[in-house]
Homo-oligomer: A and B are copies of this chain.
């Protein structure tokens, strides 16, 4: 399985506290997760500051699963690269959408909704599994705590998920559908709420396991060689 990581890279430049938590950047933390998977090869780590964001046609053509973290730069992400991601998802590429990447262009265009929500920083989260048989929940505890996270709250403007695997409980009185799957074309998509830039979420063993599980689940059994078209008989 070939995995590509996109880490926006903007917060690392603007917020010194990000590099305190993630000295090798958020992309570096995600890279460690992929490197622990014996069945995965990391192709590249792109960012907003790389040519074509590192997500060239050649890279995406070889990518089985794209892990994507982004935040404040969602609006400046190039439309053409977002459309390219969208197209590759329809053709089968798995898409792991982490935290505020819920607002990225490619996810929004795949969902067809605004992908908006309520949010608040610096709260304690409990991730609660409500779908124990899903492959993404394999080996995951019934519930685990993230001492410091950002709450996302309902109403989240997302389409009805194929499966809701995790609920997020937050000590500020919020709750949300925290881990959700969607299918678009041949592509499997996992949206996961935790992962604020100044909290060590991507070091948490359960979070790491969930991301690994999600990559394996989203790894396409089949890909379409080109875009779908209507077919006259």
CA of A118 to CA of B228, assembled, Å:
11
Interface assignment of A203: CB less than 8 Å from any CB of chain B: no
Interface assignment of A159: CB less than 8 Å from any CB of chain B: yes
CA of A129 to CA of B118, assembled, Å:
13
Could you say which interface size class chain A belongs to? Answer: 35 or more
Most buried by B among A120, A153, A163: A153
Interface 9-mer from A6-14, A56-64, A180-188, A194-202: A180-188
Judging by beta carbons under 8 Å apart, are A156 and B130 in contact? yes
Judging by beta carbons under 8 Å apart, are B160 and A233 in contact? no
Judging by beta carbons under 8 Å apart, are B128 and A175 in contact? yes
Known: A112-B184, A230-B116. A155 touches B126 (CB 8 A): no
Give 1 or 0 for each of A170-182: 1 = CB within 8 Å of chain B CB: 0111111100001
Judging by beta carbons under 8 Å apart, are B233 and A172 in contact? yes
CA of A130 to CA of B160, assembled, Å:
10
How many copies of the shown chain assemble into the complex?
4
CA of A185 to CA of B142, assembled, Å:
14
Q: Name the one of B114, B126, B130, B138 contacting A228, with C-beta atoms under 8 angstroms.
A: B114
A138 CB contacts on chain B under 8 angstroms: 221-222
User: In the complex, what's the smallest C-beta–C-beta distance from A218 to chain B, in angstroms?
Assistant: 10
A69 CB contacts on chain B under 8 angstroms: none
Q: Name the one of B113, B186, B230 contacting A185, with C-beta atoms under 8 angstroms.
A: B113
Interface assignment of A82: CB less than 8 Å from any CB of chain B: no
User: In the complex, what's the smallest C-beta–C-beta distance from A140 to chain B, in angstroms?
Assistant: 10
**A residues in contact (CB < 8 Å) with B:** 86, 90, 92, 103, 109-114, 116-120, 126, 128-133, 135, 137-139, 142-143, 151, 153-157, 159-160, 162-164, 167-169, 171-177, 182-188, 220-222, 227-233
